[in-house]
A and B are shown apart, each in its own frame.
Chain A
Amino acid sequence: MSSEHAIDDQHAVESHHVDIDKQVKIYLTVFVTLMALTIITVAISYLHLPTPMAITVALFVALVKGSLVACYFMHLIAEKKLIYAVLLVTVAFFVVLLALPVLTVSDGYWIHEEHPAAAPAESGAHH
């Protein structure tokens, strides 16, 4: 009986090692991909694309790189539901936080459209 347990334990240890070996291969693949994407990011910056296009491309590549780090190095690809729930709330608040400046800008335009005469008076007050 005890020898059976010993064999089971041995199998468990071996399969555990195989799992880790598989993960290590994934880590190295992710590392090479991240290096390639870093070089691509810098190379694209030398193309001097129009600013909106440059921002879109650079942030898209950064998003891919960030996702690779989060999914594989931080093991988010196979995590418990509670962690996903925490991150979902975080992402929701993060999006609101980043949207605030955009709302401020659009609010500024709205004020100018509604009160075009107010702008010169305001700027005069500052001087």
Chain B
Amino acid sequence: MDIPYTVEIRRDTGLTNGKIGIWLFLASEVMLFGALFASYILIRTGAPSWPHGSTILNVPLATFNTIVLIGSSVTMVMAWASLMRQNFGKFRLYMGATILLGFVFLIVKYFEYSAKFEHHLYPSTNNFLAIYFTLTGLHMLHVAGGMAVNAYFWGPGAKQWKTNPVWFTNRVEHSGLFWHFVDLVWIFLFPTLYLL
């Protein structure tokens, strides 16, 4: 049995089922990260003193990662725009760049985490590091998850372009919505953890 309304628009919602599905999922993600941001506020306001992020964390590396993630959001939206222009070659190029930039982000985070561990700074060291590792760790899992989906559409999943190009374009758009959400979360994490 085929999944309904993957290509054609539902009259009652004005949307495809995939579109409404991804937005409902993103709504749940907002609450997940919202709970952690609320925890951060609770812990920080309750602490007698709180370190400035830049005294413990590496701001230049995080700034570089911010630029990488914003760049990946642009390549992601360009991948979708390439499919809308019926240019599959460009899609492959932009989607590949998005996956590559995701890798760069994770590699930089690996070096950041390694530096902390070398200095014996662990989540158990203090509340600041506990919330830092929790928030950035969860965010990294989201980056990895988004990369896996993007890699599927870049590789084996791309076969669908030949059989059902409109559905494939819609799926890439939905994957892009998740990727932009991951970028959006980082846009708030960066100043909250590193600059304040």
Residue of A nearest to B189 (CB): A62
Residues of B within 8 Å of A62, CB to CB, are 187-188, 190-192
Within 8 A of B (CB), among A58-111: 58-59, 61-62, 65-66, 69-70, 73-74, 80-83, 86-87, 89-90, 93-94, 97-98, 100-102, 104-105
Quick check: is A117 within 8 A (CB to CB) of the other chain? no
Q: How many A-B residue pairs have CB under 8 A?
A: 122
A24 and B30 contacting across the interface, CB-CB below 8 Å: no
Let me know if A20 and B85 touch, CB within 8 A. yes
Pick out which of these stretches binds chain B: A3-11, A35-43, A118-126: A35-43
CB of B24 within 8 A of CB of A58, answer: no
Contacting residues of chain A (1-29) with chain B, CB-CB under 8 angstroms:
16-17, 20, 23-24, 27-28
Which residues on A sit within 8 Å (CB–CB) of B85? 17, 20
Q: Which residues on A are within 8 Å of B, measured CB to CB?
A: 16-17, 20, 23-24, 27-28, 30-31, 34-35, 38, 41-42, 45, 51, 54-55, 58-59, 61-62, 65-66, 69-70, 73-74, 80-83, 86-87, 89-90, 93-94, 97-98, 100-102, 104-105
